Amino acid sequence: MLDVLVTTAAGALSATVGVVAGGLVTRRAQDRQWSRDQQLAAYRELLAHYAKFTMELRRAHSERRGWDYDWGEWSTALVHAGLIAPAEVAAEIDRFDHAVDTFLDQVARTRDPLTAPLSPDEFEQARQPTARAQVQLVNAIRRSLSGDRRGIPVSIGG
C-alpha cells in the first residue's frame, strides 16, 4: 500500500513540476515574442518617419515649394524606439538621429526650397551620411532581432 501511495505521489509531483516548468518556459517565450514585436513596430515607425520627411524635403526642393512636417511625431518615434531597443540598437538610433540633424541643417534649416533649392545631386550628396547611418541602424536591428551578422550593404528608402 505504501508503495502505491509513494508511486502515486511521485507521479503527481512530477506532473505538477512538468506543468509549472512548461508554463514558465512558455511564458518566457511569449514575453520575448511580445518584446520583439514591440521593437519591430517601433523600428518600423521610426524608419517610416525618416522616409516620409526625406521624400517631403526632396519634393520641396525639386518642386521649389514649401514643406511642413510634424517633428513631434519624429521625436516620439525616436523616444519609443530608444526605450525598447537593446543597448547596441539604441546607440545606433542616437547616431542616426545625429546624422538626420546634420542632414536637416544642410537641406532644411539653411536652404529654403523656394528661394535656394538644392539640385537632385546636391540633395543626394547631403543625404549620404544619413543613408550610411540608416544602413548601420538597420543592420544593428537585424542583428538584434534575427542574429543576421551579414546585414545589408545599401540604404533602403529615404
49 closest CA partner among 67, 71, 82:
71
Q: Which residue has the higher pLDDT, 123 or 9?
A: 123
Residue 5 lies in a domain: no
Task: Tell me the residue length of the chain.
Answer: 158
The tally of domains found in the chain comes to 1
Distance CA 111, CA 121 (A): 15
What digits encode the pLDDT tens for the residues 25-68? Answer: 666 777 788 889 999 999 999 999 999 999 999 999 999 999 99
List pLDDT tens digits, range 87-121: 999 999 999 999 999 999 999 999 999 999 999 99
Q: How far apart, in Å, are the Cα atoms of 84 and each of 40, 43, 47?
A: 10, 10, 15
Q: What is the pTM of this model?
A: 0.79
Residue 18 lies in a domain: no
Identity at 51, one-letter amino acid code = A
Range of the domain at 116: 36-146
22 in a domain, yes or no? no
Closest among 54, 70, 138, 61 to 104, alpha carbons compared:
54
**Domain contains 24:** no
Identify whether 113 is part of a domain. yes
Does residue 158 belong to any structural domain of this protein? no
Q: Which cell numbers in the block locate residue 64? A: 521649389
pLDDT of 130 over the 90 cut: yes
120-128: long-range contacts, CB 8 A cutoff, minimum separation 24 = 120/62, 123/57, 123/58, 123/61, 123/62, 127/54, 127/103, 127/158
Q: Is residue 11 part of a domain?
A: no
Does residue 154 form part of some domain? no
